[in-house]
Structure 1
Amino acid sequence: MIDIDSLLKEISPETPCGDDLEYDAAYGALERATQGKPEQQFGNTVVPAEGPDWAQVQREASDLLGRTKDLRVAAYLTQALIRLQGWEGFRDGLILIKGLLERYWEGVHPQLDPDDDLDPTLRVNTIATLADPNTSLEGLRAAPLVSARGIGAFGLRDLQLATKTVAAPAGNETPAPELQVIEAAFQGVELDALRATADAIGQSRNLVAGIETLLLEQVGVGAAPDLAALNAVIAEAQKAVAAPLAQRTGQPVASEDLPTEPSSAETPGLTPGERSVVSTTPGAIKTRGDVVRTLELLCEYYRRQEPSSPIPLLLNRAKRLVSKDFLEILRDLAPDGLAQAEVIRGPDADESA
């Protein structure tokens, strides 16, 4: 576990985000630590490559965040947390990233480019690494969904291999896990542990939605990062855990029922009643949460089948508007017409009193 409150504390009242340490020796050491060690040859001796020491990455990133508030450092820390703590670590990393964006948008590093009309590209690219297939997504697919004593630990990638959803990498001689073994692990794991994993996945999905909404508001649809691939992996993991959890508890479990991050990470605009609705008809859209998920699926289709299509830009904008009221939507779509709408609506009761 990380102390999120401590990592979010300002550096000082004068410079809440501290200095940009991109060229500091400690920052360079952190970057190198995330890359591991390449294969080396000394004469006839070949030293195999080594993966990153993620515990070291966590320590160094945490230390740096005590000197600077930097999204790049937070992203490296999140990569380490995925490997060390699985889905719960990923959730904590997202809470940290979202907190940095909310508290320190004006000054968090990398800063908006003052020489290019406050261009947010560096920040957007940093957030986009959350959907990188070779780092974040690979780590999340390997993160355990279930770990049962005497049976083993299995993640989304194991489940995909067992169900032949994906093929094993070329040259991989390790036999794919059997589906019956994975199912036995889901039945054998402690129920509290299974619930904790389901909670972390559900909270992660809501946190990503919150980060997307925040960035859309700050940088607009055209500049916001595409996190559809990340949302797809989270949704797949959520579905994989929901089914055995429903079997264990004897109650149907829909994604709306999964506990969410209480502070501000819940999907905006959803009432408790809406989150408790269980769709009895497959594919039925009964809540705004269903609408958001459907829009995410449409975005994922275009990402896979028509990557050059601009339609996801409009779909992401529609997703952002789902939780807004009429005037908020009008302000977003046609700000020039807002004043006229306010005149037609008249003053609120409080204003006229």
Structure 2
Amino acid sequence: MPLLLDPSALTEPLSAESPCGPDLEDGGDLDFLNGLSHAEGLLPTAFFSRDDEGRPQPFDRSGIDFGREYKALLALLARTRDIRILVLLARLAMLDRDLPGFAGALGIIASLLESRWGEVHPAGESGGFDLRNAILHALEDVPTVIMPLQHVVLAQSRRYGPITFRSVMVADGEVPAREGEPVLDRPGIERAVEETEPEALAARRDALAAVTASVRRIGAVTLAEGGYAGAVGLDRLGGLAGRIHDLLAGAAKPVVEAAEPEQDGVSAPLIALRQTGPLATVAQASAALAAAGLYLRSREPSSPAEVLVRQAQMLVGKSFLEVMNILVPANAADASIAIGANRALRLTFDQLAAVPDDASGGADQESEEADAASPPPVPATTRAEAMTLIRDAGAFFRLHEPSSPIPLLLDKAIGMADRDFLAILRDVLPDIGSA
């Protein structure tokens, strides 16, 4: 059952004399004490458990009557404005994978902190707000918020079933797959997301945008009122919600109307690249990579995605031998191609390199002509636009040049673009996690 909240009703004063009502815990109210104790007892201490065969299973939410719990907690909110109740509602909603309900509870918390800082319960003790801050930090509790958020269904794949952000993390190698967990590739995930009903996709994006906005609001008001020592950043929650939002935003390509013939000064290839749809030529794919790389260099210079995109662009038009020398120079000389059923005939790298290229002159000339006719890079003004250009370029080379390593580099670039520094370190220095 979804959590339905009325923000205006839950943020309006309960009375002129006491806008947030009494602190029911201080008054020893049994309904409050028993209600919160009961709800907290339903929350798991671990998101995964083992079945009889030892396989990991996500928390079984069918054992909770969410409607009954919501009704009991909302009855308490009719008597008091208490962050403890709202945080419990938010955690229950996320445990039920109710993203809009979670976002709604988070927004009400932010509004009450902004408008009733000194009155909303629990109030500060001796000028401090340690208890309130500890309660707010439960909004990024791992088993009840972070893990369920990773397992919110974002799309349905005809082949693999439900797609979650956990699927993305496994595909990118950010986390290892659990026993029996399907491992998808990034392009398959993105196709499933792009095929999702636009209305459903928009609703999830809106909820995630609301979550990230509320996280920023909570951080700002706690910083303003409590100083740096009392600020509640909720970085883990905000970062995860932002990453999922960016994934869904990348699937929402804006529809661009066809260019009018009288548009002077705008080249036809550039107009074609701006329009929604797959890239049609190598020149367009290269221009897309140039634009994405330019955005990353100017806006996110510390991102390893920029290096990977630049490397991918360098590989455009390169032969197999050139690719080997660029990507695996230490092993290129040991490479060979086995021929025949019994693999008795092998062509070594040196033999392949010695084959004369009679068409090299013509190819070079064609390459120069193609470069001269290439459309200028289309500016990417947002991260979502840059990621869309990278995805489109990867899809082009995957379709038109299956042997190219470019799609692999671009998949990795997308996977690393939204990670924090520590996650990147664990990827580029695998031993750092065990140090």
Could you tell me the TM-score, scaled by structure 1's length? Answer: 0.62
Distance 1:164 1:220, change over 3 A: same
The residue number in structure 2 matching 1:227 is 234
Correspondence 1:214 to 2:221: yes
Find the aligned partners of 2:184 and 2:424 in 1 and give their Cα distance.
Answer: 27
Mark the structure with the bigger radius of gyration: 2
Q: Which residue of 2 aligns with 1:93?
A: 105
Are 2:18 and 1:12 equivalent residues in the alignment?
Answer: no
Change (3 A) 1:204 1:24: same
TM-superposed CA distance for 1:212, in Å, is 0.7
- What is the aligned length? 257
SS of equivalent to 2:296: coil
Matching residue of 2:76 = 64
Q: CA offset at residue 155 of structure 1?
A: 2.2
In structure 1, distance between residues paired with 2:203 and 2:223: 30
Structure 2 unmatched runs, 5+: 45-51, 53-58, 258-291, 301-381, 384-416, 426-435
Query: What is residue 135 of structure 1 aligned with on the other side?
Result: 144
Please give the residue correspondences for 1:36-55 in structure 2 after superposition, counting only pairs within 5 Å.
36=42, 51=61, 52-55=64-67
Counterpart residue type for residue 284 of structure 1: S
Match of 2:70, SS state, is helix
1:37–1:228 CA distance, 2 compared to 1 (3 A)? closer
Residues 108 and 188 (structure 1), Cα distance of their counterparts in 2 relative to 1, 3 Å cut: same
Q: Deviations over 1:285-310 (max 9, x none)?
A: 39xx99xxxxxx9x9547998xxxxx
Alpha-carbon distance in structure 1 between the residues aligned to 2:219 and 2:90: 17
Cα RMSD after superposing both structures: 3.7
Q: Is 1:111–2:123 an aligned residue pair?
A: yes
- 8 Å contact kept, 2:211–2:238: no
Deviation at 1:138, TM superposition (A): 1.6
Specify whether residues 61 and 99 from structure 1 end up closer, same or farther in structure 2 by C-alpha distance, changes over 3 A only: same
Compared CA separation, residues 153 and 6, structure 1 to 2 (3 A): farther
Shift of 1:90: 2.4
The answer for unaligned runs of 5 or more in structure 1 is 39-45, 252-277, 291-296, 306-353
- Retained in 2: the 8 A contact 1:86–1:140? no
Alignment correspondent of 1:78: 90
Q: Cα 1:88–1:249, aligned 2, differ >3 Å: closer, same or farther?
A: farther
Pick aligned residue for 1:165 from 170, 174, 180: 174
Tell me the residue number matched to 2:38.
Answer: 32
Identity, in percent, stands at 25
- The answer on whether the counterparts of 1:18 and 1:69 sit within 8 Å (CA) in structure 2 is yes
Answer yes or no: is the 8 Å Cα contact 1:33–1:56 preserved in 2.
no
CA distance change for structure 1 residues 190 and 20 in 2, over 3 Å: closer, same or farther? same
Q: Which residue of 1 is the match for residue 205 of structure 2?
A: 198
